[in-house]
Structure 1
Amino acid sequence: MSQFVAHTPETAPASSKPMVEGSLKKFGYVPAPVANMATSPELLGTFMGNIGAFDKTTLTTMEREVVIMAMATHVECHYCVAMHSTMLAGQEVEAAVIDTLRERKPLADSRLEAIRQFALAVITKNGGVAPEELEAFLAAGYTRRNALEVVLGIGTYTMSTFANRLTGAKLDAAFESYRWEGHSAH
């Protein structure tokens, strides 16, 4: 049992209430991560603001999703993997690509694999990537700006993956068909 409250618009702290209400309006329910993060209006507001900033980067939607899935599978955030798998399916991404991301395997698309590898290097080396790792990323057609945008994505989704794990975010029914129990489950 979680030691955190899953807030509703009625129970959310005043500063979180507009964000919780906005999520309810957008999705028709309050997603568990939003409900749980609402305990800290600062965390919820920063996370939501960072999502907006990450969405405005020069990375494509698919490139951003690769970064998110690299982060989510690395820290084994069951909620994020299920949610982003569902989102990818809704964008008509091939099931094989979704499965490959979920299984942490190399992607067939060399450009997407380059961003996946770079994201993993940034994550596992706490930003201290080797010069040859940055060069491989740049050789795939990415820019130094893109490298910093990967850092933005990792920072954004570090907040949510860590908060989801800390609060024990329950998987919402909308994502049940893509339930993911972690790498050890495969």
Structure 2
Amino acid sequence: MTNTNFPLHDRNSAPDASAAFDRAEAIFGMVPNLTRKMSTSPQLAEAYLDLTDRFERCSLSPEERGVVLLTVSRFHSCDYCMAAHSMTGRMTDLPDAAVDALRNDEVLSDHRLEALRQFINVMLEKRGWVDASDLEAFLGAGFNEQQIMDVILGIGLKTLSNYTNHIAQTPVDTAFENERWKAPAAQG
């Protein structure tokens, strides 16, 4: 990859960053390196925080949101987001075994969460052009149309961060270091 210079901004160097930094600190309890990198474009940083807030209030449970965040991040081979969401997943309702399975792209033991993981992967692989059978399988696992749309919201949210991290080469925060993850060679 070409060496780029996307600074790891602080409050003094980021253009119009104080609002994004304040919001990130309120949401995450810190200003993550992702926010620091995104702050090269204040609009991107604000949009990401807006979508994060909306995703937190969607119809998916905290456990289901964790599956979305980890599945999309793994699909995109995002080392940074895999570390961050492994940690936050373990802090919420997502069992350690599920976090470990998602990190390794393995089947989840919970039927409903596995249906969610499979649907997300199909959405990503087919770029949203899913078949009726894909939708039926997801709905048959107990999900509804609103949750289909909320999966799309989660995919959009993670695409913003995953792509930013790839291009800006965001370093993993110290807080996520114990969950460091590296994409398999064939994937990333």
Which category of TM-score, normalised to the shorter sequence, fits these structures? over 0.9
User: Structure 1: which amino acid aligns with 2:49?
Assistant: M
Within 2, Cα distance between the matches of 1:25 and 1:127?
A: 33
Given that 2:62 and 2:92 are in contact with CA atoms closer than 8 Å, whether structure 1 keeps it comes out as no
User: Structure 1: which amino acid aligns with 2:103?
Assistant: R
User: Equivalent residue of 1:183, what SS?
Assistant: coil
Deviation larger for 89-98 or 131-140: 89-98
Aligned alpha-carbon RMSD (Å): 1.8
Given that 1:23 and 1:31 are in contact with CA atoms closer than 8 Å, whether structure 2 keeps it comes out as yes
Given that 1:12 and 1:20 are in contact with CA atoms closer than 8 Å, whether structure 2 keeps it comes out as no
Question: In the TM superposition, what are the counterparts of 1:76-115 in structure 2 within 5 Å?
Answer: 76-91=77-92, 93-115=94-116
Within 2, Cα distance between the matches of 1:92 and 1:61?
A: 6
Deviations 1:66-89 (A, max 9, x none): 011110000110010001111122
Within 2, Cα distance between the matches of 1:147 and 1:28?
A: 30
Q: Which runs of 5+ in 1 are unaligned?
A: none
The match for 1:10 is 12
Q: TM-score, normalised by structure 1?
A: 0.93
- CA distance 1:25–1:134, change in 2 (3 Å): closer
Within 1, Cα distance between the matches of 2:27 and 2:59?
A: 25
Number of equivalences: 185
Given that 1:103 and 1:183 are in contact with CA atoms closer than 8 Å, whether structure 2 keeps it comes out as no
Given that 2:63 and 2:92 are in contact with CA atoms closer than 8 Å, whether structure 1 keeps it comes out as no
* Overall identity of the aligned pairs, in %: 34
Within 1, Cα distance between the matches of 2:154 and 2:132?
A: 21
The match for 1:117 is 118
